[in-house]
Structure 1
Amino acid sequence: MTNITIIGAGNMGQAIAGIAAAGGNSVQILTRDAEKSATVSAGTASGVIGDVITGDIVVLALPYGAVSLVLESYAGQLDGKVLVDLTNPVDFSTFDSLVVPADSSAAAEIAAAVPGASVLKAFNTNFAATLATGTVGREKTTVLIAGDDTDAKASLAAVVTAGGLKAVDAGSLKRARELEALGFVQLTLAAGEKTSWTSGFALAD
């Protein structure tokens, strides 16, 4: 059993909590306010941001713009953790670009801010609906995982597969830039009603 903390209780946070719980893992969800904390899934520990993190794997289920404040609130407490970034750093005012430098990524920015953590990029190419159902069309939902720590990637992949989904090693953390570009395209297609929020990209066997 793995202890997992999810920061954020939106659709993505709740979907990932469901995957982790289905695999028999211990789940803690931390939210920005106590009222939201009271709505998390039964059987899941809940609290507010600032509470002690109990998980060895910490998932940032937040908008990119909210990440820096959370990292500041846990300064020095994330060392040794596996820190999972699922953000897509889209400029939501224009929906026409990413807000990180062209030679960087949100995951790289987070890794620079928390050098003591093993940062992974994952879940950003999945919509919450496909995580919750475990399927994209006729295919099993695949979670792409990028990072420089092989053991950290294996730990997250084990959580994903135990929860009934597929996990694929997408390479080093440098690949986060390409994953974020893919996530950006997926978001713009859905926002433009070219696809639905229940669809997504799938990998067929």
Structure 2
Amino acid sequence: MHMSTISIIGTGAMAAAIAGRTAKAGHTVEVVSRDPAKARALADKLAAGATTGAYGSAPAGEIVIIAVPYAGVAAVVAAFGEALDGKVVIDIANPVAPDLSGLVTPHGSSSAQETAKALPPGAHVVKAFNTLFGHVLAKGGRLDAFIAADDTAAKARVSAFLESLGLRPLDVGGLHMAQSLEALGLMMIGLAKNGAGTWDFAMNVDIG
């Protein structure tokens, strides 16, 4: 994809990992946080030209990544609302119960579908990044990146963006498939804590 501005809402470990990789790939990163000092601190750590944006205002990026924990996603969506109209919005949340007993999303839905319901119809939600651990993403390397979305054009743009980061985008279907990707996120956490005994892994697909 041509280099463009990518807006990232959030300043946590996952936001920083995605922002770092995005800046390294030559895109301009706009960091947005409810706490302007945190946004500034993350922007200052990134490669040249990273900026900060005002929380709740229209982000500069054509792609906007909501990189906050699931418990905070609804508040972000409410704060931005119409400001995200026409944007490609990436939901990265893993809505996992603290005791790992399951997912905390409404039955038959997902974080991404809840986000899509709450945003203007002109915003196109794509599920991505939730199956990649932040520290693994930050290390670099070509990792498989699963995506789900209903809008074909939005999916193509996010695929091109992921390619530009050195990731391999793998389309799993419509936005309802975010439920499966979020369940996969939970499974990966279970694997880290049990059979793998480490968080240093990624899921990859052997094709052919």
Q: Same fold (TM over 0.5)?
A: yes
| Identity %, equivalent residues | 41
User: What secondary structure sits across from 1:124 in the alignment?
Assistant: coil
Match of 1:57 in 2: 63
Match of 1:37 in 2: 39
Which among 115, 122, 126 is matched to residue 120 of structure 1?
126
Q: Which runs of 5+ in 2 are unaligned?
A: none
Distance verdict in 2 for CA 1:50–1:102, change over 3 Å = closer
Which among 160, 168, 171 is matched to residue 169 of structure 1?
171
In the aligned structure 2, how far is the partner of 1:128 from the partner of 1:193?
Answer: 20
Match of 2:104 in 1: 99
RMSD of Structure 2 on Structure 1 (CA): 1.8
In the aligned structure 2, how far is the partner of 1:111 from the partner of 1:2?
Answer: 23
Q: Which runs of 5+ in 1 are unaligned?
A: none
In the aligned structure 2, how far is the partner of 1:65 from the partner of 1:152?
Answer: 25
* Letter in structure 1 aligned against 2:84: L
Deviations along 1:60-110, one digit per CA (max 9) or x if unpaired, are 111111011111111211111001000011111x22011113311111111
Match of 2:80 in 1: 74
List structure 1 segments (4+ residues) > 3 angstroms apart after TM superposition.
Answer: 191-195
In the aligned structure 1, how far is the partner of 2:30 from the partner of 2:193?
Answer: 31
The alignment status of 1:89 with 2:95, answered yes or no, reads: yes
In the aligned structure 2, how far is the partner of 1:164 from the partner of 1:83?
Answer: 20
Check conservation: 1:29, 1:37, Cα contact below 8 A. Answer: yes
How far is 1:141 from its partner?
0.7
Check conservation: 1:19, 1:160, Cα contact below 8 A. Answer: no
Higher mean C-alpha deviation, range 25-34 or range 63-72: 25-34
Taking structure 1 as the reference length, what is the TM-score of the superposition? 0.90
Taking structure 2 as the reference length, what is the TM-score of the superposition? 0.88
User: What secondary structure sits across from 1:144 in the alignment?
Assistant: strand
In the aligned structure 1, how far is the partner of 2:104 from the partner of 2:94?
Answer: 9
* Letter in structure 2 aligned against 1:104: S
Higher mean C-alpha deviation, range 17-26 or range 109-118: 17-26
In the aligned structure 2, how far is the partner of 1:81 from the partner of 1:30?
Answer: 15
How far is 1:163 from its partner?
1.6
Match of 1:14 in 2: 16
In the aligned structure 1, how far is the partner of 2:27 from the partner of 2:184?
Answer: 29
Higher helix share: 2
Paired residues in the alignment total 200
In the aligned structure 2, how far is the partner of 1:190 from the partner of 1:160?
Answer: 24
